[in-house]
């Protein structure tokens, strides 16, 4: 992938390739759009590709992919008015609906930065009938934030080794992977902390005004 990025960096085709990869990644997360984008952005300090154009096409591709995933969820998963029959699917459907109803903007924007989260939340938004206007607004913010974040990582790696394109690409990819791993570790620690708080036993509440229990005193037989 690094060799391909280096050979295509001087061509305008790189913008179309990046846009397509980012779009397809919305509903086919096996496509490594983050790695490709970081590798290409690491070459931006040389002037090819142009950083502003790269950010723009990334936003366009991300928004297009989100829209496709949303409509797939609405047409395929949410084409019936009743929830799924299977208990597990029905429970997942209901959890997604409640999460989007309570904090739709936060869910859509933060899911962009979680591996696999983009696909799950956009499909769920379509399947649960999340309002299209609100979805597009939140997806636009998420696409812009993610695009600046990912291209910024690649650009930062490129500035560290500007005289060596191959090293700049490698540095950008390694930096992106390291930050991604750090985010996953933080999320895992947070989930475990929440789980421990939920399972921790709580002391029974004492009714207001009730006398405090007194220690039992054993009377000696006279």
In degrees to the nearest 10, what's the CA dihedral of 126, 132, 138, 142?
50
User: What value does the CA radius of gyration of the chain take, rounded to a whole number of Å?
Assistant: 25
Would you state the pLDDT for residue 218? 47
Q: What pLDDT score does 133 carry?
A: 93
How high is the mean pLDDT in each 10-residue block of the chain (222 residues)? Answer: 60 89 86 82 84 94 94 76 56 71 86 82 87 94 93 83 61 60 62 62 51 50 44
Note the pLDDT of residue 97.
73
Determine the Cα–Cα distance for residues 44 and 147; give it in Å rounded to an integer.
14
First to last CA, the chain: 93
pLDDT score at 159 = 82
Distance, in Å, from the CA atom of 80 to the CA atom of 64, rounded to the nearest integer, reads 25
**Phi, psi dihedrals of residue 98, rounded to the nearest 5°:** -65, -40
- Look up the pTM and report it: 0.70
Are 38 and 173 within 8 A, CB to CB? yes
pLDDT of residue 62: 94
């Amino acid at each position: 992938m690094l060799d391909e990025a280096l050979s295509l960096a001087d061509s305008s085709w790189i913008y179309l390739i990046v846009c397509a990869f980012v779009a397809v990644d919305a509903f086919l997360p096996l496509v490594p759009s983050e790695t490709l984008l970081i590798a290409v952005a690491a070459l931006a300090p040389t002037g090819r590709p142009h950083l502003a154009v790269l950010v723009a096409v990334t936003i366009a591709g991300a928004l297009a992919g989100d829209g496709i995933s949303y409509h797939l969820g609405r047409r395929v998963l949410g084409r019936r008015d009743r929830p799924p029959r299977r208990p597990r699917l029905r429970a997942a459907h209901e959890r997604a609906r409640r999460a989007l109803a309570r904090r739709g903007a936060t869910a859509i924007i933060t899911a962009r930065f979680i591996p696999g989260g983009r696909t799950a939340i956009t499909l769920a938004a379509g399947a649960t009938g999340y309002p299209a206007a609100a979805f597009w607004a939140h997806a636009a913010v998420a696409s812009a934030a993610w695009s600046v974040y990912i291209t910024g990582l690649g650009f930062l790696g490129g500035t560290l080794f500007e005289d060596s394109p191959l090293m700049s690409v490698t540095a950008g990819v390694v930096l992106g992977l390291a930050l991604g791993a750090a985010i996953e570790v933080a999320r895992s620690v947070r989930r475990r902390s929440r789980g421990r708080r939920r399972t921790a036993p709580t002391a029974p509440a004492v009714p207001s005004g009730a006398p405090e229990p007194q220690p039992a005193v054993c009377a000696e037989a006279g």
